[in-house]
Structures are given as structure tokens and as C-alpha cells.
């Protein structure tokens, strides 16, 4: 794999995190006003229609994925549905930055899972960094503490689903268009929450709420597409640490929109997790440089 793909993967990761966090902010502003299933279904309708138009213009609807890729697309859609439900449930009951901080375990869980299931090389220094990062998670979640929020568990379950989603995406062939995967994912999420909301309460929405839902739909299109592309460009252990830019967005938007700021243990835990991820990036870069030097042809001095 060309090393030049890693900067592209990093940019895609940062774009995905920005889009996801802005979407999260818009959705959270409607917490308690519009039922979750209704929001997810209506956002899904807009997203699916727009993605279908884009996919048609790109000719992606004529693609013929293999049976193996169709199976992977199906699993990815299921994982995305689970991640959306558990994450947004946690988001509606916790500060934006706190939930986002828990999601910063993603670089750790994806790197660990890539080592366990995809046989990507991960040495003991990075495994130690992952262990230290999980200690940071405990500072954020603080199980058993008086201020423990049970919805932290929902956020951790969302991490599990999102890890599965990213690993499944990694296994797809390059011939399957990313926009087609985005379309199927969006349609499945829309259908799942539409069915789930049939027995629940629906409310009339104001113009503000309709606008926020539309904005969230546009953001989630970019987030979906970038998230798919980033898992197919570069190496997971290199691009994954750039998820931490999502925490910066969450801190700024959580404070400016909701007036929330994490307490000191949460900030320390997030810093530990970020430090662990950045160490894996530094370690990977160092090993890659050594490998390139070892592979470079040696020029023999003249006259010898």
C-alpha cells in the first residue's frame, strides 16, 4: 500500500469527524422535543433520497458487487443501525463532549480489532498504549462513582458496533463503490427506525426542527461517505488517531451551544486516550521510516 495514501486518509478522517459532530449537535438540540425514532427515520428519508440521486448520477447503481461484498454491506448496515441507536440514546442523556470522549476509544478498539481479526501487525508498544488508553476510559466512565451515568454503557456499546462497522468496511473489495455502500446503509437505517417508531409517539415539528433535521441529514451524508472512504485508504493504525479532532469539535460545540464543559477527570481521561492514539501514530511512522530505509537500494561508491 502506498504511503502517500495515509495523508489522504487523515484528511478524510478529519472531515468525517467534523460532519459527525455537527450532525450530533443538531440532533441533540432536539432532544426532548422530537422522539428519537422519528428523528432518525426523517433524517434517514432525506439522506437516502439525496444519496440515491448522487449514486445514480455517478453510475453506482449499475455496480454489481459480489455476493461476498453484499454480505459485508448488510453487516455494515446492521452495525451502523446499532451504533446510531446506542450513540444517540447516550447523546440525548449526556453532555456532547462526554459522549464524544468515550467514542475516542475507537482508534484503540479498531487498532486492537485489526490486529486480532485482520492480522495487521501491532507490536507490544502499541498494545501497551492501548491498555493505557483503556485506563483513560475508566476515568471518563467511572463505574461505581456517585456521578456515574448509566448511559455511558450505551456509548461503549456504540463503540463496539462502530468498530464492527469499520472492520467490515475494510474487508470490502475496492470494486464496490463507496456511494453504493452509503446508500444501502442509509436505507437500512431509515427502514429500521421507521419500523421501530410505528408503535411509538410522533409529534408535529416546527420549522426550526425541520431545518435542523435537514441539516443533520446533509451532515450525515458527508460523515457516512468519508467514514467509508477512510477505511479503504491508508492504514488503520495511522489514520485512526485523527478521530481525536472530533473531540475538539465536541468541546467547542458543547460549550458554545449547550454550555457544557467536561469535568477534570473526563478531560484527563480523554487526554490519556488521545495520547495513547498519538503514540501509536508516532510508533507506526517511525517503523515505516525504518522499513523504507531498509528497502532503499544502496548506491555503491565509484571505484570500488
Instruction: State pLDDT tens for residues 187-207.
Output: 999 999 999 999 888 999 999
Residue 241 lies in a domain: yes
Residue 35 lies in a domain: yes
Residue 303 lies in a domain: no
CB atoms within 10 A of CB 90: 23
Residue 301 lies in a domain: no
Residue 170 lies in a domain: yes
Q: For residue 53, is pLDDT > 90?
A: yes
Q: pTM here?
A: 0.81
Residue 299 lies in a domain: no
Q: How many domains are there within the chain?
A: 1
Q: For residue 45, is pLDDT > 60?
A: yes
The pLDDT score that the predictor gives to residue 249 is 92
Residue 172's domain spans which residues? 5-294
Distances in Å between the Cα of 169 and the Cα atoms of 19, 77, 256, 302 are 19, 10, 34, 51
Residue 121 lies in a domain: yes
Residue 302 lies in a domain: no
* Long-range CB contacts for residues 58-61, cutoff 8 Å, separation at least 24: 58/177, 58/179, 60/177, 60/179, 60/180, 60/183, 61/180
Amino acid at each position: 500500500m502506498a504511503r502517500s495514501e495515509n495523508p489522504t486518509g487523515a484528511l478524510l478522517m478529519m472531515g468525517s469527524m467534523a460532519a459527525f459532530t455537527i450532525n450530533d449537535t443538531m440532533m441533540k438540540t432536539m432532544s426532548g422535543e422530537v422522539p428519537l425514532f422519528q428523528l432518525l427515520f426523517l433524517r434517514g428519508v432525506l439522506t437516502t433520497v439525496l444519496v440515491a440521486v448522487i449514486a445514480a448520477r455517478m453510475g453506482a447503481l449499475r455496480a454489481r458487487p459480489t455476493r461476498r461484498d453484499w454480505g459485508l454491506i448488510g453487516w455494515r448496515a446492521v452495525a451502523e443501525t446499532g451504533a446510531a441507536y446506542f450513540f444517540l440514546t447516550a447523546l440525548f442523556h449526556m453532555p456532547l463532549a462526554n459522549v464524544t470522549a468515550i467514542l475516542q476509544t475507537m482508534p484503540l478498539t479498531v487498532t486492537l480489532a485489526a490486529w486480532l481479526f485482520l492480522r495487521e501487525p501491532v507490536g507490544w508498544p502499541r498494545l501497551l498504549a492501548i491498555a493505557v488508553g483503556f485506563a483513560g476510559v475508566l476515568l471518563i466512565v467511572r463505574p461505581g462513582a456517585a456521578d456515574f451515568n448509566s448511559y455511558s454503557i450505551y456509548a461503549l456499546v456504540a463503540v463496539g458496533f462502530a468498530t464492527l462497522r469499520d472492520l467490515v468496511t475494510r474487508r470490502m473489495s475496492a470494486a464496490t463503490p463507496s456511494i453504493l455502500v452509503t446508500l444501502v446503509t442509509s436505507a437500512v437505517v431509515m427502514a429500521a427506525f421507521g419500523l421501530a417508531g410505528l408503535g411509538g409517539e410522533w409529534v408535529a415539528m416546527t420549522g426550526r426542527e425541520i431545518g435542523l433535521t435537514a441539516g443533520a441529514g446533509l451532515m450525515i451524508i458527508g460523515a457516512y461517505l468519508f467514514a467509508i472512504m477512510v477505511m479503504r485508504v491508508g492504514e488503520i493504525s495511522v489514520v485512526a488517531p485523527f478521530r481525536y479532532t472530533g473531540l475538539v469539535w465536541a468541546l467547542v460545540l458543547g460549550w458554545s451551544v449547550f454550555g457544557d464543559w467536561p469535568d477534570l477527570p473526563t478531560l484527563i481521561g480523554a487526554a490519556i486516550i488521545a495520547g495513547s492514539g498519538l503514540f501509536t501514530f508516532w510508533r507506526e511512522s517511525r517503523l515505516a521510516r525504518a522499513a523504507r530505509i531498509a528497502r532503499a537500494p544502496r548506491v555503491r561508491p565509484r571505484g570500488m
